[in-house]
Structure 1
Amino acid sequence: MFFYVWADWRFLVLLVTSTLVNFYLGLKIHETEEDRKRSIYLYLGVIFNVGLLLYFKYFNFFYQGFFELLNFFGVESSYNSLTILLPLGISFFTFQTLGYLIDVFNEEVEPTKDFLDFSVFVAFFPKILSGPIERAAGFIPQIQEKRVLTYNVFVDGLRQILWGLFAKIVVAENCAAIANPIFNDYQDKPGSVLLLGTFFYAIQLYADFSGYSNMAIGISKLFGIQLMRNFATPFFSTNISDFWRKWHISLTTWMLDYVFTPLSFILRRHQKKGLIFSIVITFVLVGFWHGANWTFVAYGLLHGIYFIPLVYKGKMNSSEIVAKGKQIPSLKELSKMIALFILIMLTDVFFRANSVSHALDYLKRIFSFSIVDVPNTILNTTTLVTIVLIFFFVFIEWINRERKHDFEINSYNIFIRWGSYILIFLLLLFFGRSAETFIYFQF
């Protein structure tokens, strides 16, 4: 809470209130035997938590939409957007507490009666700003039991922090230095440059968020607490279903358990059509979770649509580590990975754009005759160095794709391990760029 106050003391009131209300409701749901009253307490929790998100994150979005709708029907009206501060990490800790109440209601977890334990669950500082979105069943028992900090766990935590730092301040920030100027001033650039801009942004987005997640998980290991893995080399996927099993895993599994599963159960009589509808709605909400902008809705909608061929082919659940037990993928696997990456990369334009029209115009300019032009404006030493850094980043993730995290090299001999540490330290020293924040802090 000290770190949270450091950002803005006004947010502390919201965090403490959310912790108190959800702690109390969890106890009441568990203690109450009458089903109707238990449901009422759950509904109060849903209204409270969703209400917080709707007010702080989406009020201006719906407020603006209401007046635009009036103008559409010929009712002249004007409005001024309200100045509402977005509390740090509200999407993350609100989903945590909401999931906690649902799990208590479904008797999948017993509520903790220790307010300090529950407060740590909500406000544990490595994860409060950008996740992972932890489940009570996995997190609370770890703080209720005595933790024994071992040398191997401590060193593995430091190793994961080091890799997260490299991903963020070397890979993500060097990609941002190329992608940001392209997206901010794209109108006079050829399609080839815009296409490269999408490539660097896709890598930036992944390195930025996976870097944060690795640092958060690594820091937690120093306290003897294991957070859930949030990324599992998603770009080594061969279909969209596999991708979302490896990308932002804590959000994906949350949406799967609390949105997709109950929705698909309700619509099960509609068979594949019901399944498709459930998937699309779930991913629209995944997109909308990221922010109050139609670009995020479009981002989620597109990802939901990408699942439709898999549903009809019956390959929704096919998920294997690509080239398992091998050093290189087959030509078929490689072509599928590249095709999927290009699809994800182009869809990320909606994630990055300021508006849907901006995204569509950007994509239209990519697929123009200028896509075959030589991208002279960005062919320089900085770009070439960044590409080399990306190849190194991808190579390390490839060789560790079957391990518990991206830099789990404890099984290698001492010379390889320390050589890797020194190399990454030097890359941080010579190619690291300062960064003010992480992309996902805004969510």
Structure 2
Amino acid sequence: MVFNSLDFVVFIIPVFLLYWLVFSKSNIYQNLFLLAVSIFFYAWADWRFLILLLGSTLINYYLGLKIYRTPEDRKKSIFLYIGLVFNVGLLLYFKYFNFFYEGFYEILNVFGSTSTYNSLVILLPLGISFFTFQTLGYLIDVYNEEIEPSENLLDFSVFVTFFPKILSGPIERASSLLPQIKEKRVISYEVSVDGLRQILWGLFAKIVVAENCALIANPIFNNYENESGSTLLLGTFFYAIQLYADFSGYSNMAIGVSKLFGIQLMRNFSTPFFSTNISDFWRKWHMSLTTWMMDYVFTPLSFTLRRHQKKGLIISIITTFVLVGFWHGANWTFVVYGLLHGIYFIPLVFSGKMNTSEIVAKGKLLPSLKEVFKMILLFVLIMLTDVFFRVESVSVGFEYLKRIFSLSIIDLPSVLFSSTTLITSALIGFFILVEWVNREKKHDFEIGNYNIYLRWISYIFIFVLILIFGKSAETFIYFQF
């Protein structure tokens, strides 16, 4: 039941009405209803792993209380380690077992072994990377005494299973989400309308921009051996936009749906393609994952290696981004993807600009030529790196890049003047324009302060674009993670 499906529309309307008309008397009623709805929503997506989700919820709830209530530091640490082993163990088994299993046999074969193996058929539970990181962060925060654990199992269960974010995030922090769950929510017309507005923009990003980009990018990637370098370069451009529109579209819809229930999820994307350096890009791209990795991996690691100064900082950054890449999937392509992003930080470390964040053309209509140059240069770098996010093997990724930078890069792309390319390019232009205009606002389609007639013209225009150019899509790219 994806957000852009008719099933979800049929699901969300009665849920919204029942939530506010029947279950709004207290936060207990609201949370009981949200938990039931979230369980139903997850079971609809994949009922086979519902027991895993609920079991993880119960175990982490219990461990959080044990960590908090245990006075001795040594015993407190034991419960934290149990939680780390349990949660990381879930990820390692369901997501990475075959990766390490196959790697082990490949190492044996290097040393002359003739052993053979068959990959185990291990199904990947939907959302496991997201809800596991959320519960991991919760236990670490309780251990570090940054938050108190939830004494209420119902509140904690809603925190873990809340349906708008269970499948693909954002990865929420307990310090932000739990207080909202503990309090009774009151319906707000302004917040609900803003949520609908964000859903509309997310829907446009997904089924119009991302899916039309896929119509161009997929055939190019699938037939890269027979395409010119210029066509392959064009394919990387459309894939980069597809990836962003797909995931930011999901995030906007998830945040918008959550607003309908009086709960604010964290922003996950903040117009990252308007960044002028790699550090600023990662402050705006998949923000819930980036901040999680910064807090729980980079910060303690850099503190441990601080005596090595810049070398220690570089090691910490590269390690963090290798893990960011590996979080996405059990494939060396994601490791290379993360490694490259980590390497891109090295010039910033030596220049001392890693912690600086430039706001492009703040308060201005247009950026300077210098800012345009930096944005384009960074986008091309990100775009080329995304090749490893798309291909199935590292060797194919390097071969793809090699073919881009062949002599055929000066040829006209084979799909340049196709109607699909021209229409999609115009849709991307509109998409980027709206995001540019709203780059300093709380989300990409925050137009609540505009004239009412202008607002309705905008809604109708986008709705018409969805009707004319929208494509069917059964899933989102990040569902596989």
**What range describes the TM-score normalised by the shorter chain of this pair?**
over 0.9
CA distance in structure 2 between the partners assigned to 1:248 and 1:203 by the alignment: 14
Structure 2 counterparts to residues 31-430 of structure 1, below 5 A: 31-430=69-468
* Corresponding letter in the other structure for 2:339: L
Task: Name 1:5's counterpart in structure 2.
Answer: 43
Partner SS, residue 370 of structure 1: helix
Give how far 1:376 is off. 3.1
Q: Is the 8 A contact 2:205 2:248 kept in 1?
A: yes
The 1-side partners of 2:171 and 2:414 are apart by 43
Query: Which residue type is aligned with residue 188 of structure 1?
Result: N
Offset at 1:415?
1.8
Cα distance in 1 between the residues matched to 2:363 and 2:46: 49
Tell me, yes or no, if the aligned pair for 2:247 and 2:476 is still in contact at 8 Å: yes
Q: Deviation per CA, 1:247-295: give whole Å up to 9, x if none.
A: 0000000000000000000000000000000000000000000000000
CA–CA separation in structure 2 for the residues paired with 1:416 and 1:141: 36
Structure 2 SS opposite 1:118: helix
Mapped contact 2:68–2:149 kept (Cα < 8 A): yes
> What's the offset of the Cα at 1:378?
4.4
**TM-score scaled by length of structure 1:** 0.99
The residue type equivalent to 1:138 in the other structure is: S
Supply the distance in 1 between the matched residues of 2:71 and 2:113 (Cα, whole angstroms). Answer: 51
Q: Aligned equivalents of 2:80 and 2:289: distance in 1?
A: 21
Please report how far the alpha carbon of residue 9 of structure 1 lies from its aligned counterpart in structure 2 after TM superposition: 1.9
CA distance in 2, matches of 1:430, 1:391: 17
Q: What is the distance in 1 between the residues matched to 2:145 and 2:380?
A: 43
Q: Name the CA distance, whole Å, in 1 between partners of 2:48 and 2:248.
A: 29
Cα displacement string for residues 204-245 of structure 1 (whole angstroms, at most 9, x for unaligned residues): 000000000000000000000000000000000000000000
CA distance in 1, matches of 2:138, 2:42: 22
More deviation in 59-68 or 313-322?
313-322
Three-state SS of the structure 2 residue aligned to 1:116 is: helix
Cα shift at 1:146:
1.5
Counterpart amino acid of residue 374 in structure 1: L
1:184 CA drift (Å): 0.7
Distance 1:111 1:349 in 2: 42
Q: Say whether the 8 Å CA contact 2:221–2:235 is kept in structure 1.
A: yes
Aligned residues: 443
SS in 2 for 1:215: helix
- Quote the Cα distance in structure 2 between the aligned partners of 1:200 and 1:183: 11
Q: Deviations over 1:381-417 (max 9, x none)?
A: 1110000000000000000000000000011111211
CA separation in 2, counterparts of 1:415 and 1:392?
20
Report deviation, 1:436. Answer: 1.0
> What CA distance in whole angstroms lies between the structure 2 residues aligned with 1:131 and 1:320?
27
The one-letter code matched in structure 2 to 1:342 is: V
**Cα distance in 2, alignment partners of residues 167 and 321 from structure 1:** 23
- Distance across 1 between alignment mates of 2:431 and 2:454: 16
Letter in 2 for 1:208: D
TM-score for both structures, normalised by structure 2: 0.92
1:371 corresponds to which letter in structure 2?
I
- Contact 2:415–2:421 at 8 Å: present in 1 too? no
What is the alpha-carbon distance in structure 1 between the residues aligned to residue 186 and residue 46 of structure 2?
A: 34
The answer to whether the 8 A contact 2:204-2:466 is kept is: yes
Q: Find the counterpart in structure 1 of residue 23 from structure 2.
A: none
Between 236-245 and 4-13, report the one with greater CA deviation: 4-13
Q: Is the 8 A contact 2:276 2:358 kept in 1?
A: no
CA distance, structure 2, for counterparts of residue 170 and residue 427 of structure 1: 8
Cα offsets for 1:161-189 (capped at 9, x unmatched) = 00000000000000001000100111011
Query: SS at 1:76's partner residue?
Result: coil
Amino acid at match of 1:110: E
Q: 1:423 is aligned with what amino acid?
A: F
Over the residues paired in the alignment, what is the CA RMSD in angstroms?
0.6
Q: In the alignment, is the contact (CA less than 8 A) between 2:318 and 2:342 conserved in 1?
A: yes
Segments of 5+ residues of structure 1 without an aligned counterpart are none
What is the alpha-carbon distance in structure 2 between the residues aligned to residue 84 and residue 416 of structure 1? 51
Q: Distance in 2 between matches of 1:147 and 1:7?
A: 27
Stretches of 4+ aligned residues off by more than 4 angstroms: none
* Aligned mates of 2:262, 2:410 — CA distance in 1: 53
Seq. identity, %: 78
